[in-house]
C-alpha cells in the first residue's frame, strides 16, 4: 500500500454512544487519540461501527512534539554536517526533480515557501518515497527484514551527519538545520515492516496504527520545517495532531482508492470486523463485485476519511502562511479522490479513482485562496 506525503492534544480517549428516539450517534471525546465521525441511521442500514482509538501517548507523539518544539535546536544530539556547497546544491536539486516528477501538485504548492524550507520538504519527501519503495517499488521482490534493518541503520547515519549518497546528504543537511526528531522516521520504517508481516487488519485500531506509521508520521516530520504561524491561536500539540490527521486521512483515501489493486496482490487493508458488520468478507472483495452492501460500507469509510480531513484543516490554517499552500493542495486533492470513488458508483475494484491533470492544477488556485485566508474565515 502506497503511503502519502502531507500534514487534540492530550493522551486519553473516551468512547461512548448517545441514543435518542430518532438517532444514534457515535461520540468520541478525544484527548489525543482517534476520533470517529458521527453516523446517521438514515443512510446506514447496518449496525453502527464500533471504533477503538489509540491514544497518542501510546505513540509517544507528545514526546516528539516536545523535542521538535525546543527553541534551542543545538540541543538536538546530532553532529554538525560539513558539505561542500556545490555538492549540497546537487543534493537538493536531485530531491527537487524527484518531487516535481512524482508529486507535481504538492511540488507546485511548495514554490511559495522560503528556499530553505522548500529544500527541506523535498528532502523529506524523497526519503519517504525511497522508504516506501523498499516495499512497493520495483525491487520489492527482494524485500526481507534485513533490508529494513539496514535502512534504519542508514537513517541513524543520516542523523549523525554521515550520509551514504547524495539524496541522504540532503536529509542530513535538513536535520542539521531544523529540529527534526528521529522517531517519526523510524516509525515509518516500522510501517514498512508491518507491510511485510500483515496483509489483513482485524479492526480499525490496527489499521489506524498502520496509517500512523506510514503516513501520519509525515505530518510530524513536516511541521518543524513548515513552521507554525507566530500569531497562531492553537497549541503546538493541536497543530501537530491536525497534521497527523491529514496523514491518516490521506492514507485511508489511498486504501479506499487501491482496494482492487491490493486485492490482486492478496491484500485487504479494510477492517475485518467492520466488513463483517456489513455482511461482507474477503471473498466479496477478492471477487470484485460491487453490491449494495459494498456501497453502504464504502459510504461509511469515505465519511470517516472526510472527518479526518476536516480535523486536519485546523492545523493547515495555523502553519506559517507561505507553507500552507502545499498542505491545502494535498488536502483538496485527496478529497477529490474520494469524490471520484463516489462518481464511479463505489467501484474501486476495476475503476481507478483518478483525478486528471487539469483538475489537479485547478485545485492550486483554490488551495492558494484557502492558504491566504484568515483562520476565522475558514471556519465560519
CB-CB contact of 371 with 328 (8 Å)? yes
From CA 298, how far away is CA 281, in angstroms rounded? 14
Bridge-partner residues for 17, per DSSP? Answer: 26
More confident residue, 163 or 78: 163
Please give the pLDDT value at position 375: 65
State the alpha helices, DSSP H only, in 137-165.
Answer: 145-159
What pTM value is reported for the model? 0.84
pLDDT of 140: 79
| Residue (of 311, 280, 287, 254) closest to 49 by Cα position | 280
Q: What pLDDT is stored for residue 186 in this prediction? A: 97
Secondary structure of 318-331 in HEC code, one letter for each residue:
CECHHHHHHHHHHH
Q: What is the largest CA-CA distance in the chain?
A: 71
What pLDDT sits at residue 136?
86
Amino acid 127: pLDDT: 98
Confidence of residue 238 (pLDDT cuts 50, 70, 90): very high
Report whether 277 contacts 338 (CB < 8 A): no
C-alpha 278/C-alpha 297 separation (Å) is 6
Residue range 56-108, pLDDT digits in tens = 777 889 999 999 987 555 545 455 667 788 999 999 999 999 999 999 889 99
pLDDT per residue over 14-35, tens digit each? 323 333 333 333 333 333 444 4
Measured distance CA(190)–CA(210) in Å, rounded:
9
Report the C-alpha gap between 368 and 18 in whole angstroms.
39
Please compute the mean of the pLDDT values over residues 212-230 and round it to a whole number: 96
* 161, 79 contact by CB (below 8 A): yes
What residues form DSSP beta bridges with 30? 13
Residues 165-190 as b/e (b if ≥16 CB within 10 A, e otherwise) read ebbbbbbbbbbbbbbbbbbbbebbbb
By C-alpha distance, which of 175, 176, 181, 170 is closest to 69?
181
| pLDDT, averaged across the chain | 84
What confidence score (pLDDT) does residue 372 get?
Answer: 87
Res 79: pLDDT: 58
The better pLDDT of the pair 16, 224 is held by: 224
The predicted pLDDT at position 125 comes to 98
Ranking 14-23, 36-45, 285-294 by mean pLDDT, the lowest is 14-23
| DSSP-derived 3-state class of residue 299 | helix
pLDDT given for residue 176 in this prediction: 94
- Strand 24-31, strand 12-19: pairing: antiparallel
Whether the pLDDT of residue 10 is over 50: the answer is no
What's residue 59's pLDDT? Answer: 84
Percent pLDDT > 70 in the chain is 81
| Other C-beta atoms lying within 10 Å of the C-beta of residue 95 | 27
Task: Give the pLDDT band (50/70/90) at residue 44.
Answer: very low
pLDDT score of 202:
95
**Cell match 511559495: residue?**
112
Q: Whole-angstrom Cα distance, residue 272 to residue 200?
A: 7
- pLDDT for the residue 12: 30
pLDDT band at 344 (very low <50, low <70, confident <90, very high): very high
- pLDDT for 139: 80
pLDDT at 357: 85
Range 222-237 average pLDDT: 94
Residue 2: the pLDDT is 54
Across 240-249, 273-282, 370-379, least confident range: 370-379
Residue 9 CA to residue 238 CA, distance in Å, equals 5
What DSSP letter does each residue of 76-117 carry, written as one string? S--------HHHHHHHHHHHHHHHHHH-HHHHHHGGGS-HHH
**Beta-strand runs (E) in the chain:** 12-19, 24-31
Q: The dihedral of CA 79, 80, 81, 82: what is its sign?
A: negative
Q: Does the pLDDT of residue 7 top 70, yes or no?
A: no
Q: Do 323 and 109 touch, CB atoms closer than 8 A?
A: no
pLDDT given at position 349: 97
User: What pLDDT digit, counting tens, does each position of 133-147 carry?
Assistant: 999 888 877 788 899
| Average pLDDT over every residue of 311-319 | 93
| 52-56, 105-109, 126-130, 200-204: least confidently modelled range | 52-56
Residue whose grid cell is 530531491: 95
Site of grid cell 490482486 = 264
Amino acid at each position: 500500500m502506497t503511503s502519502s506525503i502531507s500534514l487534540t492534544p492530550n493522551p486519553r480517549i473516551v468512547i461512548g454512544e448517545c441514543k435518542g428516539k430518532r438517532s444514534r450517534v457515535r461520540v468520541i471525546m478525544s484527548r489525543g487519540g482517534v476520533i470517529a465521525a458521527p453516523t446517521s441511521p438514515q443512510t446506514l442500514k447496518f449496525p453502527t461501527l464500533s471504533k477503538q482509538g489509540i491514544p497518542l501517548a501510546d505513540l509517544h507523539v507528545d514526546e516528539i512534539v516536545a523535542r521538535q518544539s525546543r527553541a534551542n535546536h543545538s540541543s538536538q544530539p546530532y553532529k554538525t554536517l560539513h558539505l561542500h556547497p556545490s555538492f549540497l546544491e546537487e543534493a537538493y536539486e536531485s530531491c527537487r526533480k524527484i518531487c516535481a516528477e512524482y508529486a507535481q501538485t504538492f511540488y507546485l504548492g511548495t514554490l511559495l515557501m522560503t528556499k530553505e524550507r522548500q529544500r527541506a520538504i523535498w528532502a523529506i519527501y524523497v526519503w519517504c518515497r525511497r522508504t516506501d519503495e523498499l516495499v512497493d517499488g520495483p525491487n520489492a521482490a527482494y524485500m526481507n527484514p534485513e533490508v529494513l534493518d539496514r535502512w534504519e541503520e542508514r537513517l541513524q547515519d543520516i542523523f549523525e551527519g554521515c550520509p551514504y549518497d547524495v539524496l541522504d546528504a540532503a536529509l542530513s543537511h535538513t536535520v542539521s538545520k531544523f529540529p527534526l526528531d528521529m522517531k517519526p522516521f523510524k516509525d515509518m520504517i516500522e510501517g514498512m515492516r508491518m507491510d511485510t508481516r500483515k496483509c489483513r487488519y482485524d479492526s480499525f485500531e490496527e489499521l489506524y496504527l498502520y496509517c500512523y506509521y506510514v503516513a501520519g508520521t509525515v505530518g510530524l516530520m513536516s511541521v518543524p520545517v513548515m513552521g507554525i504561524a507566530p500569531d497562531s491561536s492553537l497549541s503546538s500539540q493541536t497543530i501537530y495532531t491536525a497534521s497527523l490527521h491529514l496523514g491518516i486521512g490521506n492514507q485511508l483515501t489511498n486504501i479506499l482508492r487501491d482496494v482492487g489493486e491490493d486485492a490482486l496482490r492478496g491484500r485487504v487493508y479494510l477492517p475485518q470486523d467492520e466488513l463483517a458488520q456489513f455482511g461482507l468478507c474477503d471473498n466479496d472483495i477478492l471477487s470484485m463485485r460491487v453490491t449494495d452492501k459494498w456501497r453502504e460500507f464504502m459510504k461509511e469509510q469515505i465519511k470517516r476519511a472526510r472527518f479526518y480531513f476536516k480535523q486536519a484543516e485546523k492545523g493547515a490554517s495555523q502553519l506559517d502562511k507561505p507553507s500552507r499552500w502545499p498542505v491545502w493542495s494535498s488536502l483538496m486533492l485527496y478529497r477529490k479522490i474520494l469524490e471520484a470513488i463516489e462518481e464511479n458508483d463505489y467501484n474501486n475494484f476495476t475503476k481507478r479513482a483518478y483525478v486528471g491533470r487539469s483538475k489537479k492544477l485547478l485545485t492550486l488556485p483554490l488551495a492558494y485562496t484557502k492558504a491566504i485566508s484568515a483562520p476565522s474565515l475558514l471556519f465560519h
